[in-house]
Amino acid sequence: MNIVVSYDISEDKRRTKIHKVLKSYGQWVQYSVFECQLNDTQYAKLRSRLNKLIKPDTDSIRFYFMCACCFGKVERIGGEQPRDENIFFAECADG
């Protein structure tokens, strides 16, 4: 499933932690916004990890689910482009 995760965390340290966890599950597209493509298990894992980190009375995290059809219609002007997930290269930028 395609999920847009946005978060609003009051404390810097906690926000960094949450940011780090989200980086393992999706792509950072804007400040406080991630796009994730996950299956049910991965989503459950992510949610439980985030659940342990946040303070629900001051923080908030939102998961917006998008159907495959709507996800294909996302328009992007500038900023992060979706990552090519078929192949990853580890090499130095200057060769």
Binding site for other proteins (CB under 8 A): 20-21, 23-26, 38, 42, 83-93, 95
CB nearer to other proteins: give 23 or 58: 23
CB nearer to other proteins: give 6 or 45: 45
Residue type, 60: S
Quote the least distance from Cβ 11 to other proteins, whole Å. 19
Residues with Cβ within 8 Å of 54's Cβ and at least 6 positions away in sequence, in order, are 9, 14, 18, 61
Residues with Cβ within 8 Å of 30's Cβ and at least 6 positions away in sequence, in order, are 79, 80
CB nearer to other proteins: give 38 or 66: 38
